[in-house]
Amino acid sequence: MPVFFSSIAGFFVSRSLAGKKPGQKGRIRSLRIKVRNHFIHIHHWIYGGAVLAVAPMFFEKHPWPYQSVFIGFLIGIVIQGLTYRDFYKIFYKAVVEYNSSEEE
């Protein structure tokens, strides 16, 4: 039961901190790495999933009474990240934004 409720909590916390729509800035900045003229976008569902994959191995050696809550919270973060239309876009071309106020 704790996994279920913490998944719901993780979903809504992630939803409140992330951008409301794909490409929109959230309260927490996206992790983007620029490589020449491309970006690698590490979505929050990717690093949430990576931590989720490693957590059972960590908890095997270091038991923690709230590990099911932690796992559930991560599941909620991953599920919320997969609700975006562009969840699969990891590599994309960097676009130079033109700012007309710099012209003056």
16-58 pLDDT, tens digit per residue, is 998 777 766 777 777 888 888 888 888 889 999 999 999 999 9
Whole-model pTM? Answer: 0.77
Residues in the chain, overall count: 104
Query: Hunting for tokens 């106020």 — which residue is that?
Result: 101
Beta bridge partners of 2: none
The answer to whether 13 and 75 are in contact (CB under 8 A) is no
pLDDT band at residue 96 under the 50/70/90 scheme: low
What is the C-alpha to C-alpha distance for residues 72 and 28, in angstroms, rounded to an integer?
A: 21
